[in-house]
A and B are shown apart, each in its own frame.
Chain A
Amino acid sequence: MSSPQATEELTKTQLDAKATPPAIRRKSLLREMWKQRAAYLFLLPKGILFTAFVLIPVIWAFVLAFQEYGVFGSEWVGFKNFKSVADSEAFRTALWNTLKYTVVTVPLQVLIALVLATLISPLGRRAQSFFRGAFYLPTVTSMVIIAMVWRWVYNYRYGLFNYVLGFLGVPAQDWLNQSNTALWALIIMSVLIPPGVGVIMYLAAMDSIPDSLYEAAKIDGASEVQRWWRITVPLLKPTTLYLTMLSLIGSFQVFTQILLMTGGGPGHATETLVSLIYKTAFRDLEFGLASAQAIVLFVITLIFGIAQYWLMYRKAED
């Protein structure tokens, strides 16, 4: 919809909608839905699954957070679980580790995806297809396999990391078993796993940038770097925003690699919020407390998400 006629029509429709009373709007919406009932019927299976496995559990978690949950009967305890979360040093440690992990990995993952997509974009169709596949492969590879490979990479005696560092004269480190390196080792691993989804999305977004913009900039004497910085990066803002949000949510929920590689140790150096929630629920069977922890995580993620959206969206608008 880019023609002036279409834009005018759209604006008119929006104005009409604002002028229509809500009851009538609702009626017409229902009528419209009824008209498209076959489409909604197709959506129904997914809707049922979503309700059963996402919506109800989420609502249930909110209810559980205010209870001392017992398999054969629960007791309403109000905000007691939330108070326990606030008083818990383990939760504060896990939150701090999660924040550190997120603040470092999210920008780097998005930046690496952008740089890779920029390098792949000018290539021919065949080469592009190859690199798309190559960079997407780790996305469909099980994290268990990736973690096993990285455990070997970080092995003190036989690992690739120490082997390479040995050539540079850097003394070997026991990467996963020292408090000062364990979390950084996990961060490096996360950053170095090719961001397949990001690359694919950036490539798709780059394809939709009109060539005429680059040609005009070229005529104006802009260098390649300037064209990338002044045209590509600003026009990719919506994609960047989406990927950042996605990456942020993923980072706040980091769990598998923690469980497989360090178990939260040494000490609590790599304990993250989700690994703590998991332990609270399935080791200690304190489902109410685990739900409260999960809700606090949800609220933190929401705040970060809104803040990020607001900042980036405003910049994009500017």
Chain B
Amino acid sequence: MNYTKYSKAFAVLATATLLTVAVTGCSKDSASTTKQETANWTGKITIWDGPRWEEAGNKYAWIESQKKAFETSHPGVTVEIVQVPWAELNDKLGVSIAGKAWPDLAPVDISGNGVNAAFLKQKVLEPIDEYVTADDKKDFLPNALDAYTQDGKLYGLPGGMTVHGMLLNLDIFKERNVEPPKDGKWTWDEFVDDMKKLTYDKDGDGKVDVYGLSTYVKNGYYESWPFLYMDGGRPVSDDLKTFTFDSKEATGAMKKLADLKTIPVAPKEMGSGDVGGTWKAFSAQKNVAVEPWATWAIQAAQKANMKNFMVAAYPTGSGKPVTIGGVGGWMMFHQDDAGKKKVIADLMKQLTSTEQQVVTAKNYSVFPSRKSAADQNPFADNPQMQQAQKLTETAVMMPKQADWKKIDEAIQSQLQLVLNGEKSPEDAMKEAKKTADELLSK
């Protein structure tokens, strides 16, 4: 090999360049960690956010406007926005924690459930009690604040609340001469009767093409769960020590839901994990008359030109009327600098202020978590959100159990098999109980 002196020089240069890039690329932003124990901290805050409502073709317009406002009110502070699709947010946070490269501030998806137990266990969340006044705390709805409270410490600020409700395509109801439920309430028997009428062969080819109901089953999503609660069944006991989804009330409700496919008033796909396909069937293909969704879907349906729809409650069984609620908001990740911590808390408060909660409620189909924002009646001109708001009275939150994600997976994976007709509810929940009991007895 006869290398010229130029090629040797090039190799040296290439190596040197790579080393320089590696070293500088991996170093921390030293400017952002200046040790100032005061509110005069300056530097960069990294915030993650998912797409929200669209303004001039931009789904990040709201967070960008917040960045501008905050940089104006805090000279010397720059806010860097990292756009993350909601579906990837939790995984991306997990990866960032593994690499000790977490953001300063990140949201919990609005259909999420407040503070993340795995993050707490890893001590990567900052408690923020010292930055929230007692008056401020009083303005938040207690159950919203409770979602971010663990062991008496507050780990986040709720930006909004959501609830699951049934979306009804009133065009199909009209087409089939079916009266929508009065005041959005129906019993299980009334519901099944209506679903039968709404299931039909639209094009006359002898095959059913429009079904009454469809939903999906997927880890971390609870659209189908209020059905399972209707006779009083719950996944775990109030003291979070016993698995109770194997009770007669729960398995009976599971059977009722699964049987909808055999009547049939629900398509064969009901119970799969296909979120997008389920939504498309309702909003675009319009071959399902009723689907349960979290409230974000109200705004999505309005944007999808579904003018004629309403929100109703889940059908009631022998238990009390019930639905499942969720809380979304902002969490601060581990900080070494007290000055920076205070500035991040300021930004959290700005993002969850009364004014911003009204804006978010109007545009993003979430209920304010502040009483002062709810008092401003943000849904005055949104009948569907008004209907959904009534459901909040019956909303319950998911259990705040440290290993909930694993218990949830154990239940959801078995629930898929129940809805597929592959397993009886009793056998399925017996299987889920094995995992759940192990985790609950820790």
* B95 touches A (CB below 8 Å): yes
Chain A interface residue count: which class?
Answer: 35 or more
Inter-chain contact A48/B22, CB cutoff 8 Å: yes
* B319 touches A (CB below 8 Å): no
Interface stretch of the complex, out of A4-12, A186-194, A245-253, A280-288 = A280-288
Interface stretch of the complex, out of B119-127, B291-299, B385-393 = B119-127
Q: How far is the CA of A262 from the CA of B217 in the complex (A)?
A: 12
- Residue of B with least CB distance to A278: B91
Q: How far is the CA of A70 from the CA of B122 in the complex (A)?
A: 6
- Residue of A with least CB distance to B219: A263
With a cutoff of 8 Å between Cβ atoms, the chain A residues found around residue B119 in the complex are: 285
Inter-chain contact A265/B273, CB cutoff 8 Å: yes
Classify the interface of chain B: helix, strand, loop or mixed: helix
Inter-chain contact A268/B22, CB cutoff 8 Å: no
* B18 touches A (CB below 8 Å): yes
Inter-chain contact A283/B91, CB cutoff 8 Å: yes
* B414 touches A (CB below 8 Å): yes
Inter-chain contact B8/A38, CB cutoff 8 Å: yes
Nearest-Cβ distance from residue B217 to partner chain A, whole angstroms: 8
Interface residues of A in 143-176 (CB under 8 A from B): 155-157, 174, 176
Inter-chain contact A41/B414, CB cutoff 8 Å: no
Inter-chain contact B11/A174, CB cutoff 8 Å: no
Interface residues of A in 21-40 (CB under 8 A from B): 36, 38-39
- Known contacts A48-B15, A285-B118, A268 near B413 by CB under 8 Å: yes
* A102 touches B (CB below 8 Å): no
Interface 1/0s, chain B 266-301, versus A by CB < 8 A?
011101111001000000000000000000000000
* B187 touches A (CB below 8 Å): no
Inter-chain contact B8/A41, CB cutoff 8 Å: yes
With a cutoff of 8 Å between Cβ atoms, the chain B residues found around residue A155 in the complex are: 277
Q: How far is the CA of A174 from the CA of B119 in the complex (A)?
A: 37
With a cutoff of 8 Å between Cβ atoms, the chain A residues found around residue B121 in the complex are: 285
Interface stretch of the complex, out of B62-70, B103-111, B154-162, B416-424 = B416-424
Inter-chain contact A45/B219, CB cutoff 8 Å: no
- Residue of B with least CB distance to A264: B413
Q: How far is the CA of A42 from the CA of B8 in the complex (A)?
A: 8
Inter-chain contact A70/B123, CB cutoff 8 Å: yes
* B82 touches A (CB below 8 Å): no
Residue of A42, A89, A264, A267 near B414 (CB, 8 A) is: A267
Given A38-B7, A41-B8, A265-B413, 14 further pairs, Cβ under 8 A: A38-B3, A45-B15, A48-B18, A49-B18, A71-B122, A72-B122, A72-B123, A156-B268, A174-B269, A177-B420, A179-B422, A267-B422, A282-B95, A285-B121
The 6 closest A-B pairs by CB, nearest first: A282-B94, A177-B272, A41-B11, A38-B3, A266-B416, A285-B118
Which residues in B have some Cβ–Cβ distance to A below 8 Å?
1, 3, 7-8, 11-12, 14-15, 18-19, 22, 90-91, 94-95, 97-98, 100, 118-119, 121-124, 218-219, 267-269, 271-274, 277, 334, 405-406, 413-414, 416-417, 420, 422, 434
Which residues in A have some Cβ–Cβ distance to B below 8 Å?
36, 38-39, 41-42, 44-45, 48-49, 52, 70-72, 89, 155-157, 174, 176-179, 262-268, 281-285, 287
Selected A-B contacts with CB under 8 Å, 14 pairs: A38-B8, A39-B3, A41-B12, A52-B22, A71-B124, A176-B272, A266-B413, A266-B420, A266-B422, A282-B91, A283-B91, A283-B94, A283-B118, A285-B121
